[in-house]
Amino acid sequence: MSGMKRIQSPRSMQELGLEWRRQGICVGLVPTMGYWHEGHLSLMRWAREHCDLLVASIFVNPTQFGPGEDLENYPSDIERDSALAAECGVDVLFTPYKAEMYLPGHGTWVNVPELTKNLCGRSRPGHFQGVATVVCKLFNLVQPTFAAFGEKDWQQVAVIRKMTRELDIPVRVEGRPIVREADGLAMSSRNVYLTAEERAVAPHIQKGLCLLEGMVRAGERDCGALRKAVRDYYAAWIPSGVLDYLELVDPETIETVDHVHSDFLAAVALRLGKARLIDNKRINLEK
């Protein structure tokens, strides 16, 4: 395929995807909501090295936003993203029409209830139903061999893996490490919402998780004590932040753990001004 194509019709995308599958072509997919940062670009560069043809999608999915969230104001710059896609070697940029992704009367949804009771699933009801449904649709339309997702949204990756496995969808789900700014803040399209003052304290989100890891390395195993230490740290260093959740969970089941006896995930969501920022740290005990 010479030059990057942009496709907006879901039907046209599916016809092309099915043809690729018939030909045995290895297709990589990077699903996004656009307004790309280095985290998105790292997914594309990695995927480019592992496939014959690379598709990146941009779709601000309305069904994963709740009431009062930032659907109408979600940042967008499709021309900039399109130029970046070409630089990263994307073969097809799929930017589907919203009206064709959700036809009038749409009423079929994908739910993964076991993994969505906690963390973002608890504080954003319906969010993962929207995520799972749109990713299932993208898999059916693009027909990729594999799809790459960032592990900043750890719960999302877990949900998509389980959905793909249990619905027998022939797509390999690849989770890729969090990409951070030089000061440690996890890259996010929503970081643009931060004021200068908020941006200055935002790196303490990750520093709190590093504090927790240090306590575990020093022998602390009580999750209550670990959570209290990080909460106190955030209260001191991010006084304007409102903690949505700080949880220690099993990385596979996303269930809260009370005592550290195996590898776990420390996950946080914190509201800072107009931004809701999430981060996590996988803590392996053998290290």
Tell whether residue 189 is among the known ligand binding residues.
yes
Q: What pLDDT, on a 0 to 100 scale, did the predictor assign at position 241?
A: 98
Architecture of domain 189-281: 2-Layer Sandwich (3.30)
Residue 64, annotated ligand binder? yes
Banded model confidence at residue 195, pLDDT cuts 50, 70, 90: very high
249 is in an annotated binding site: no
Please report the pLDDT score of residue 219 as a whole number: 95
Q: What is the pLDDT of residues 124-162, one digit of tens each?
A: 999 999 999 999 999 999 999 999 999 999 999 999 999
Residue 35 labelled as part of a binding site: yes
Q: Inform me whether the pLDDT recorded for 287 exceeds 90.
A: no
The reply to whether 188 sits in an annotated binding site is: yes
pLDDT band for position 1 (50/70/90)? Answer: low
**Predicted confidence (pLDDT) at residue 30 exceeds the cutoff of 70:** yes
Residues contacting 87, CB < 8 A, separation 6+: none
Element containing residue 120 per DSSP (H, E): helix 119-123
3-state secondary structure of 74: coil
Determine whether 259 is an active site residue: no
97 belongs to an annotated ligand binding site: no
Tell whether 4 is in a known binding site: no
What is the pTM (predicted TM-score) of this model?
Answer: 0.96
- For the stretch 196-253, pLDDT in tens is 999 999 999 999 999 999 999 999 999 999 999 999 999 999 999 999 999 999 999 9
34 is in an annotated binding site: yes
Rounded Cα distance, 171 and 29, in Å: 10
What percent of the chain has a predicted confidence (pLDDT) above 70?
Answer: 99
**3-state DSSP assignment of residue 95:** coil
- Catalytic residue, candidates 40, 50, 204, 259: 40
180, 70, 104, 161: CA torsion to nearest 10:
30
pLDDT tens digit string along 51-104? 999 999 999 999 999 999 999 999 999 999 999 999 999 999 999 999 999 999
Q: Has 40 been labeled as part of a binding site?
A: yes
The string of pLDDT tens digits covering residues 62-77 is 999 999 999 999 999 9
CATH classification code of 5-176: 3.40.50.620
pLDDT score at 2? 65
The CA radius of gyration of the chain, in Å to the nearest whole number, is: 19
Residue 286 pLDDT: 79
Domain boundary assignment for the chain: 5-176, 189-281
User: Rounded to whole angstroms, how far apart are CA atoms 251 and 265?
Assistant: 5
Can you give the pLDDT at residue 269? 98
d(CA 64, CA 134): 9
* Topology agreement, domain 5-176 and domain 189-281: no
151 a known binding residue?
yes
Kind of pairing between the strands at 146-150 and 172-176: parallel
Q: Which two tokens stand for residue 117?
A: 């009771």
Residue holding tokens 């690849």?
A: 174
Distance, CA of 188 to CA of 75 (rounded, Å) = 11
